[in-house]
Amino acid sequence: MAGTGLVIGGESILPGETKQIALDMPPLYTATSMSIPVFVKRGKRPGPTLFVSSAIHGDELNGIEIVSRLIKSRSIEKLKGTLIAVPMVNVYGVLNQSRYLPDRRDLNRSFPGSKKGSLAGRIAHLFFKEVVSKCDVGIDLHTGAIHRSNLPQVRADLDDEEVLAMAKAFGVPVLLNADIRDGSLRATASEAGIKILLYEAGQALRYDEFSIRAGVKGIINTMRHLGMLNKSRAKGVPITPFIARASGWVRAPESGFVNHLAQLGDHVEKGDKLAIVADSFGQIQGHILSPAEGVVIGKQNIPLTQEGEAIYHIAYFKTPDSVAEQVEMLQDNLVPNDSTVTI
């Protein structure tokens, strides 16, 4: 989409140029200036324009490290087209270690926004106008919420053949055909004809090495699929992606203290014990059971729960045992010496 005259934040970026740009945001009430950092790299040869965005939710930090490693990667040196990488969209949230903006709004429910709307609406408008609208495709990076972890997964409109091909090229085992939510970046981008993937992995306020490596590799894989980078000889065992036919959360039957038995990536059968709920004296109050055969793709991490709280997210596949095997292969490929590396 970017022709010879790509302009972001009033700065022109020509083919062959690399620039770091600051998009001015409303200042803090202390009069401290705020801006969205934007990295732009344009190849000398034509190709698609891709944006990679992170920290739309300010406490979701894995994506910041993914973007940092991506823009320093030697793989993008011979780029065709344009890469626009935004390590922090919700800079206010990162500063406050919060999912939300200072006005308590969710930025990812505020698109397309408006120039004269709420703070969230103004940031959404700025980011969409200056970055997203100038792109052909995008990858938005997320993690689980606070105290919740997600297995590396891609969520997208998999009924769109181009998006499905991008999702498969990303190279993680779990693909979810996720509904588009009103006000989300994905909804607004899709309405504008921009093909977009959402990468979910890890948990809020934590770096997870496995999730970070899978994200960097997945973006580079997708760029190769789009013709932005030269093909390379694959390293490690090829990963086969599987599309989940459905997914759902399993909730705690009782309030109490949780001892987790099932972990991310586990293949579980119907009726398997996922966790034990006990009282403060250690007396068992109930068990959390798997409602069907599937793969654990999300879980709560803290051992405290209220009755009805969502504890495990399970995705359902035709061949869940094969998916679990691919998860193990991906982990072996990316973190061969220590499958539990966490920063």
Instruction: For the chain, give the mean pLDDT.
Output: 94
pLDDT tens per residue across span 320-343: 889 999 999 998 999 876 544 443
With contact defined as beta carbons under 8 Å apart, do 43 and 14 qualify?
no
Q: Average pLDDT for residues 83-97, to the nearest whole number?
A: 98
pLDDT tens per residue across span 11-68: 999 999 999 999 999 999 999 999 999 999 999 999 999 999 999 999 999 999 999 9
pTM of this prediction?
Answer: 0.95
Closest Cα partner for 264 from 198, 208, 333? 208
Q: Is the peptide bond before 37 cis (omega within 30 degrees of 0)?
A: no
**Domain co-membership, 38 together with 173:** yes
CA torsion angle 205 40 133 113 (round to 10)? 40
Alpha helix segments (H runs only) across the chain: 62-72, 91-96, 119-130, 161-170, 185-191, 209-225, 320-334
**Domain co-membership, 166 together with 95:** yes
**Domain co-membership, 162 together with 297:** no
Give me the number of domains the chain comprises: 2
pLDDT band, residue 238 (cuts 50/70/90): confident
Q: What are phi and psi for residue 322, nearest 5 degrees?
A: -70, -35
Residue 1 lies in a domain: no
Q: Average pLDDT for residues 145-167, to the nearest whole number?
A: 96
Tell me what pLDDT residue 2 has.
59
- The SS3 assignment for 31 reads coil
Residue 97 lies in a domain: yes
**Domain co-membership, 43 together with 89:** yes
Q: Average pLDDT for residues 78-83, to the nearest whole number?
A: 97
Half-sphere exposure of 65 (CA within 13 A, CB side): 20
**Domain co-membership, 110 together with 163:** yes
Residue 108 lies in a domain: yes
Residue 294 lies in a domain: yes
Residue 240 lies in a domain: no
Residue 55 lies in a domain: yes
**Domain co-membership, 254 together with 119:** no
Cα dist from 327 to 72, 150, 198, 339, whole Å: 27, 13, 18, 11
With contact defined as beta carbons under 8 Å apart, do 165 and 241 qualify?
no
Half-sphere exposure of 78 (CA within 13 A, CB side): 6
Per the structure, the complete domain to which residue 10 belongs is given by 6-225
Q: Average pLDDT for residues 121-134, to the nearest whole number?
A: 98
DSSP strand pairing (137-142 vs 45-54) = parallel
DSSP string covering 110-178, please? S-S--TTS-HHHHHHHHHHHHTGGG-SEEEEEE---TTEEEEEEEEE-TTSHHHHHHHHHH--SEEEEP
Q: Average pLDDT for residues 90-119, to the nearest whole number?
A: 97
**Domain co-membership, 188 together with 95:** yes
- The SS3 assignment for 254 reads coil
> Measured between alpha carbons, how far is 306 from 30 in angstroms, rounded to an integer?
39
Tell me what pLDDT residue 337 has.
63
With contact defined as beta carbons under 8 Å apart, do 84 and 7 qualify?
no
**Domain co-membership, 219 together with 285:** no
CA torsion angle 167 105 102 68 (round to 10)? 0
pLDDT tens per residue across span 206-228: 999 999 999 999 999 999 999 99
